[in-house]
Chain A
C-alpha cells in the first residue's frame, strides 16, 4: 500500500553554485527548561523562497531570531553566505527582517522609515531618496511618503515594512508571520505580491508562518517544525502528498490516519472515492466498507466523515459536480464503500518516537 514513488528530491532541483545563503548546523536554543530550538540543521539556497511552517511554540520564530541575531544560540552555528556569523550582533549581519507587528518607527514618516537603513550606512541623501522611492514603487506604495505609520492601513504598513527591509538589498530577507495581522482577502493579495517581489529582487526569503496554505502556495521549499525540530523538509508537493509523519499529515491538511496491520497510514481527503452500491472500484484500489457519519456542504465541495467497519474514521471531500445540497445531505447515515488507489496512501511515523 505505501509506496516510495520517487518524487523529485527537494535539493536536486537547484544547482548549487557557491555557498548556501543560510546554513544552520546543530542549532540549539533553550529558554529556561523549554527547548525552543532543539537541534536544527538546515541549508537554504540562494534566491530560494523558504518557509518555516509550524504551530505556535514550535520554534520557528526563535529560529528566525537566531538567524537575525536577536538571540544567541546555546550551541550550533549560523552561517550566512558561507560566513560564520554566530557571534555577530544583528547590526553586523547582512539580513533584514519584516516583523510581525511591522515595528515601524512611529515618529518617522514613510520615507524616513524606508530610508533608515541607508541613513545608518551613510548613503548620500539623493541616493537614499532615489532608492527609497524605488523600493516603495516595488511594493506599490507611492504617493504616501509623507504619511506617518498611524495614518496608514494595516496592508499599507505591511508594505512599508517590506520596503524598509528590501531597500537595503540584504543577502537574506527574514519574514516573521508578516501577513498574520491582515484580513483574509488582503492576505491573499499580499501572498502573490510577496512572490512577485521575491522574483524581482532575487533575494533569498526565509518566511515564517503557521498558515499551511500560505506555506504551500508561496514556497520553493518548506520545513515543517514541531517541538523545536524539523519534522519534514521538502517541496510543497512533497510535504502535502507524502507527509513523513502523522504530525505533518495532520498539520498540513486534514489528518486522515488509520492503523492497519500495525502500520500507520494516511490518505488525503480528495483521493478517497465514495462508491455507490455495486459500483466497481478502479483497478489497484484499496476498499473498505463504512458508514457516512456526517456530511458538511461547503458550496463547491462536500465533506464526508466516514467511520470504517475496521475501525478508524476518514474525511473525504467531493466536488459538487452534479447534484444539489439536498441530495448530498440525504446521504447521512447510509452505508458506503470507500476506495483509494494503493499508491495514494502513505505510511507515516506515528507521533514522536524521539529521533536523534
Chain B
C-alpha cells in the first residue's frame, strides 16, 4: 500500500512540476490568439489577427531576418571551428590539451553578461563597430561549444580502430573521411548545428552588448515588454521564437537520442567491453 501511495504522490509531484514549467508558456501561446489588445482573463475572443499584424510590422520583420542571419552564420562558424577543435583534441595528444578542452567549454558556463561585456569592450578597443558581424561573433562563442561537445562525444564513442580498419581495407585518408568519418559524425553535426541555432535564435544577454542599434527578435521582445507596447504582437513573436527554438531541439534530441547516438554508443560499448588494443 505504501508503495502505491508513494507512486501516486510521485505522479502528482511530477505533474505539479510540469505544470509549473509549462503553464506560463501555454498562457502566452493562448494570448497570441486573443482578439483584444488588452491582456485580461478571460480573453474576449479568439483571433489570428495579431499574427497578421506582426507579420506586416517592418520592425518585427527586420528583427526576424537579423535573428535568422545571426543564427545561420553563428551556426556555420560553430560547425567549422567546433568540429575542427573536436578533431584536434580527440586525435592529437599535445601539451595543454586538457586546458584547451576546458577553455572551449567554458563560454557556455560563463555568465552571458561577462561574455557580453568582455566582447563589447574588446570590440570598442579594436575599433570594430557593432553590427551583424559582432552579433555573430558573440553567438559563435557559445555555439562552438555545442557543436564541439556533440562531435567530441561522438568521436569518443566510435572506436578508433574503424579508421585503421578502413586503411587496412585499402582506403587512404580522403576516402576514409568521405565514407567513414563524415557519415558517422553526420547526426552529431546536424544535432549540434540545430542546438547551436536554437541557442543563437533566442539569445538576449550577449546580444544586448554586441548588437548596437539593431534588434534581433529577442531584443525586440525585450524592448517591447519594457516599454509596455505592442504586447499582443509580442505574444505572437514569442510563439514564433518558441517554435523556431523548440523544433530544432526536438529534432536534435531525436537524432542523437533516438537513432544516431544509440548506434554509436552500442558500438562504443562493445569496444569498451573488449578493452582497448594498442600499446
Contact = CB atoms under 8 A, between A and B. Distances in A.
B164 interface: yes
Contacts of A164: 165, 169
Contact of B166 (A36, A116, A154): A116
Interface of B: 158-159, 161-162, 164-172, 175, 179-180, 183-184, 186, 262-264, 266-267, 270-271, 273-279
Given A31-B279, A105-B165, A120-B175, 10 more contacts: A91-B167, A97-B168, A100-B274, A101-B271, A102-B274, A107-B183, A121-B170, A149-B267, A164-B165, A176-B277
Contact of A120 (B169, B266, B278): B169
Interface in A84-99: 89-91, 95-97, 99
Contacts of B168: 68, 70, 90-91, 95-97
A103 interface: yes
A81 interface: no
Nearest to B163: A103
A104 B168 CA distance: 12
A206 to B, nearest CB: 13
A90 B273 CA distance: 26
A103 B183 CA distance: 15
A160 B116 CA distance: 53
A244 to B, nearest CB: 27
Contacts of B271: 101
A103 B274 contact: no
Given A89-B172, A90-B168, A106 B184 contact: yes
Contacts of B276: 101
A120 B171 contact: yes
A245 interface: no
25 contacts: A61-B278, A68-B164, A69-B167, A70-B164, A89-B167, A91-B170, A95-B168, A97-B165, A97-B168, A99-B277, A100-B274, A103-B159, A103-B162, A103-B164, A104-B267, A105-B162, A105-B165, A105-B180, A106-B158, A106-B264, A107-B183, A107-B186, A117-B170, A148-B263, A164-B169
Contacts of A116: 166, 169, 171, 179
A284 interface: no
Contacts of B278: 61
A259 B167 CA distance: 51
A209 B267 CA distance: 22
Contacts of B184: 105-107
Nearest to B169: A117
Nearest to A182: B274
Interface residues of A, number: 39
Contacts of B171: 91, 116, 120
Given A106-B184, A181-B273, A168 B170 contact: yes
A36 B278 CA distance: 10
B262 A150 contact: yes
A101 B163 CA distance: 13
A180 interface: yes
A4 B271 CA distance: 46
Interface string A136-164: 00000000000011100010010000001
Interface string A62-91: 100000111000000000000000000111
A93 to B, nearest CB: 8
Contact of B277 (A61, A90, A148): A61
A100 B180 contact: no
Nearest to A107: B183
Contacts of A176: 277
Closest 5 CB pairs of A and B: A117-B169, A103-B161, A103-B165, A181-B274, A150-B266
Contacts of B279: 31, 34, 36, 62
Nearest to B264: A106
A154 B271 CA distance: 11
Interface in A204-251: none
B165 A107 contact: no
Given A101-B277, A105-B162, A105-B180, A154 B172 contact: no
Q: Identify the interface centre among A100, A106, A154, A168: most chain B CB within 10 Å of its CB.
A: A106
Contacts of B262: 150
B245 to A, nearest CB: 29
B202 to A, nearest CB: 32
Nearest to A56: B275
Contacts of B172: 89, 91
A99 B271 CA distance: 10
A118 B266 CA distance: 26
Contacts of B161: 99-101, 103
Contacts of B158: 106
Contacts of A120: 169-171, 175
Given A103-B162, A107-B183, A148-B263, A96 B169 contact: yes
A154 to B, nearest CB: 7
B56 to A, nearest CB: 46
Contacts of A90: 164, 167-168
Contacts of A69: 167
Interface string A100-142: 1111111100000000110111000000000000000000000
A280 B273 CA distance: 53
A70 to B, nearest CB: 6
A61 B266 CA distance: 25
A149 B158 CA distance: 13
Contacts of A97: 164-165, 168
B114 to A, nearest CB: 40
